[in-house]
Structure 1
Amino acid sequence: MKETTAAILIIGDEILTGKTEEKNAKFLISELRDLGVSLHLILVISDDVDQIGAAIADLSKRFTYVFTSGGVGPTHDDVTLLGVCKAFGTEMHRHLELEASLRKYFGDKVQETHLRMADIPQGSTFITLPELRWPILSYQNVYIFPGVPEFFRQKFSAIKERFRTSEFYLKLIFTKQDEFDIADHLTQVAKDYPQAAIGSYPVFDRDDYRVKVTIESKDKQVTENAFNMLISLFDSSHIVRCE
């Protein structure tokens, strides 16, 4: 089965300068793992059209999905959609139905800054759902989300099931052995079971165990076999628990 992969593109000078704390990538890491999607890359770039265009063009070719965060508001530095245009060789145009919705929503208070939100890349796709006031915008395999965490989470949660694929199978071993003592065992199992991802994570602030070992794969039997091999190699007297 072909792996379903993803990249996250965080856009905003405010992130790079520390003016705003980035929260959307952390949220999406957990969500994508639960959906069975392999996240391969998180990239943070500035509000620069050329950078955005180059990044989207590259990532959209390399990964199944690209999720962008930020740069879709009405101000001068919201240039993500211009970057999308640059990536795919298209132009901005005003979406008349979206403009009508904006006029209806803002009524007599509508301004040109409001209507700018109806300017989107030609060829974009709208995802409209009853629970969302405004549609989600995508272009091919690129899904474009606002940077405000509340709105990002609301919109992603509304469509996340469309990304679901086969699940990951995970086993855990907690041991009092030191990483140096188990390093060769981990290498051996990783070599014998290349389909499994073997992770080793030492801790220094606990008394009950020293290393958490993870065994993960899309194949349940591979996960079980790699887990059992590690159990046979580790010093059983130092294994605290398995999950």
Structure 2
Amino acid sequence: MTKTAGIIVIGNEILSGKTADENSAFLARELRDLGVDVRKIAVIPDDLQLIAAEVRLFSQSYSYVFTTGGVGPTHDDLTMDGVAAAFGRKLRRHEQLEDALHRYYAQHLVEPNLRMADVPEGARLIGGQGMWFPVVAVENVYIFPGVPEILRKKFSRIRETFRDAPFHLREVYLRADEGQIASVLHRILASFPNLLLGSYPYFDNPSFSIKLTLESKDAAYVNDAHGLLLTELSKLDLEPVRPA
């Protein structure tokens, strides 16, 4: 079966509009490329009970869960507490993480920084080689920082952990109105009910006005659906165009 994922973005700054969320879009693209189907993205505040409830629900619902944000040393960094609560565990100071913090901060280390070494009991450390601070995972939950640059570096170290059978994609570009092709798309889905079929309008592109995407993990299935789509479009005197 296709691996699935849920992404939980944690932070009052996202919900208040102070900071734009870049992390969920990055993770969604990366996971799609790895063959993982992202089923839900949630944005929640720095609230211990909400974090615990969302992590618990996502963990039960998806193959993988990715959290971003809330892992620093300040009062509003509650992700580790929330993940621990989701699984009924206590926080424990991890010796390896504590050592990493001592090496990183050296003489500038202060007690609040050591909070970042407190992780749920039984947590796993992943991708430590070449990283000053590894990714912390609990069950199927992978805990990432909210700073996009750091998240991307950390994810790149462990991305192959999540590789699954790839999605096969065909794209069709048209000069048409979506209303013209709506019935065609319905017929395609009637013949290929497991096809992931997307229709996306463009209003400022001089070479095309619609982009259609056909996706499946079965390459032959996609190719057969693509062939039927071209046949049905030709009946409307519509031919694919090349994007500029």
Q: Give TM-score, length-normalised by structure 2.
A: 0.95
Aligned match of 1:165: 164
Supply the distance in 2 between the matched residues of 1:107 and 1:30 (Cα, whole angstroms): 37
> Does the C-alpha gap of structure 1 residues 112 and 230 become closer, same or farther in structure 2, counting only changes over 3 Å?
same
2:39 matches 1:37: no
Contact 1:6–1:64 (Cα < 8 Å) also in 2: yes
Supply the distance in 2 between the matched residues of 1:149 and 1:45 (Cα, whole angstroms): 17
2:185 matches 1:186: yes
Structure 1 vs Structure 2: percent identity of aligned residues? 43
Tell me the alpha carbon deviations over residues 44-77 of structure 1, each in whole angstroms, 9 at most, x when there is no partner.
Answer: 0000000000000000000000000000000000
2:44 matches 1:62: no
Report the alpha carbon displacement of residue 174 of structure 1 after superposing the two structures with TM.
1.2
Supply the distance in 2 between the matched residues of 1:180 and 1:113 (Cα, whole angstroms): 58
Supply the distance in 1 between the matched residues of 2:191 and 2:242 (Cα, whole angstroms): 21
> Does the C-alpha gap of structure 1 residues 189 and 99 become closer, same or farther in structure 2, counting only changes over 3 Å?
same
Aligned match of 1:238: 238
- Residue 221 of structure 2 aligns to a residue whose secondary structure is helix
Supply the distance in 2 between the matched residues of 1:185 and 1:242 (Cα, whole angstroms): 20
> Does the C-alpha gap of structure 1 residues 206 and 99 become closer, same or farther in structure 2, counting only changes over 3 Å?
closer
- Residue 7 of structure 1 aligns to a residue whose secondary structure is strand
Contact 1:95–1:118 (Cα < 8 Å) also in 2: yes
> Does the C-alpha gap of structure 1 residues 186 and 115 become closer, same or farther in structure 2, counting only changes over 3 Å?
same
Aligned match of 1:77: 76
Q: Which amino acid aligns with 1:216?
A: E
| CA RMSD of superposed structures (Å) | 1.5
Aligned match of 1:199: 198
Tell me the alpha carbon deviations over residues 153-184 of structure 1, each in whole angstroms, 9 at most, x when there is no partner.
Answer: 00001000110111111111112232111111
Question: Where does structure 2 lack aligned partners over 5 or more consecutive residues?
Answer: none
2:60 matches 1:89: no
Contact 1:208–1:240 (Cα < 8 Å) also in 2: no
Aligned match of 1:150: 149
Aligned match of 1:28: 27
Supply the distance in 1 between the matched residues of 2:45 and 2:89 (Cα, whole angstroms): 21
Tell me the alpha carbon deviations over residues 99-154 of structure 1, each in whole angstroms, 9 at most, x when there is no partner.
Answer: 23323433333221122111111111111432211111000100000000011000
Q: Give TM-score, length-normalised by structure 1.
A: 0.95
Contact 2:171–2:213 (Cα < 8 Å) also in 1: yes
Q: Which amino acid aligns with 1:69?
A: T
Supply the distance in 2 between the matched residues of 1:118 and 1:165 (Cα, whole angstroms): 31
Deviating above 4 A after TM superposition, structure 1's stretches of 4 or more consecutive aligned residues are none
Contact 1:172–1:242 (Cα < 8 Å) also in 2: no
Q: Which amino acid aligns with 2:100?
A: S
Contact 2:2–2:164 (Cα < 8 Å) also in 1: no
Question: Where does structure 1 lack aligned partners over 5 or more consecutive residues?
Answer: none
Aligned match of 2:100: 101
Contact 2:188–2:228 (Cα < 8 Å) also in 1: yes
Supply the distance in 2 between the matched residues of 1:165 and 1:41 (Cα, whole angstroms): 18
Q: Which amino acid aligns with 2:45?
A: S
Contact 1:32–1:39 (Cα < 8 Å) also in 2: yes
Count of residues in correspondence between the two structures: 242
